[in-house]
Amino acid sequence: MRRAAKVSILGAAGGIGQPLALLAKQSNHVGHLTLYDIRGTPGVAADLGHISSPAQVAGYLGEDLPKALEGRDVVIIPAGVPRKPGMTRDELFNTNASIVKSLAEACAKHCPNASILVIANPVNSTVPIVAEVFKKAGKYDPRKIFGVTTLDIMRARTFVASVKGASASLTHNKAISPTVIGGHSGPTIVPLLSHLKQFSFTEAEVEALTKRIQYGGDEVVKAKDGSGSATLSMAAAGWEFGEAVIRAQKGEKGITECTYVDIGNGKYFAQRTDLGKDGVEKIHEIGALSAFEQKLLEECNKELAANIKKGVEFVKGH
């Protein structure tokens, strides 16, 4: 059995970063946790350091980013500005693209073999940004760069259970977890409810559930009334995926997650993926789709292509 993982969270003092760091600190799979942000991380690290769990914690600021990255097995990037009411993920692009690019450059230099988990939105574009930075540095391994789309799966799991009157415990049961493919924004999110054989859905239920899964983030942005976006649920989803990556690194078999990855020919797409010691081991076929899902996929592919191109061209132009 491999040693406990060395994990770094970039953007660790933010709305997603702090609860994500708390979950990582409480995990028995983490041996050393480094936190980085432009401010606040020494305090967050001191606070977490009082929790009686195995992981050692250190917080870094500013020019100390290399110290936060050296020797890391996994780097999780929730850094960036959050969405505000009426703002699309794509409108976040100009600010967050620069942040992600600079962090990716540091990762390529100081921990090129780490698995990089990108939460910073818009994920459809920021993952290609990270990939292009690693390509420029000659360090690119497509098996180790992931867009975290787990919140879409988590929402699907929760919303399906609520519609079908399933017990609360089933919302945590991956056996009823729908596959969600495509990307991680509105129309690029394609839930495959037809693959969920435990339940049958009316046409109206499929349409309503699909829309809620696609735009669940808007519910939170509206409910928070200008004070933020989905942070707690995103942290929970981010750690669910992060811990899966760590478990696979340690040699655990049979770990399959939906995640947004390089599928070849300049394309990135979220689908069911087997994880192993070195990252992606196998990308599953999508399988048969209903007519409704096929239409969603066509709409997804158009927008996704533009999102990917935007990320690639950003790196080429900077």
Helices (H) and strands (E) in the chain, counts: 10, 11
Helix (H, G, I), strand (E, B) or coil at 147: strand
Burial 107-136 (b: 16+ CB within 10 A, else e): bbebbbebbbbbbbbbbbbbbbbbbbbbee
- Please name the helix (run of DSSP H) or strand (run of DSSP E) that holds residue 220, with its range, or none: helix 216-223
Catalytic member of 29, 32, 110, 184: 184
Q: Is 184 a known active-site residue?
A: yes
CB 308 within 8 A of CB 267: yes
Alpha-carbon radius of gyration of the chain = 19
**For the chain, what's the residue count?**
318
Candidates 40, 123, 115; CA nearest to 76 is 115
Give just the sign of the alpha carbon dihedral 234, 236, 242, 244.
negative
- Strand ranges inside the chain, DSSP E: 5-10, 30-37, 56-61, 74-77, 115-118, 145-147, 179-182, 189-192, 255-264, 267-276, 279-283
Contact 113, 144 (CB under 8 A): yes
DSSP letter for each residue of 40-80? SHHHHHHHHTTS-SS-EEEEEEGGGHHHHHTT-SEEEE--S
Residues recognised as catalytic: 184
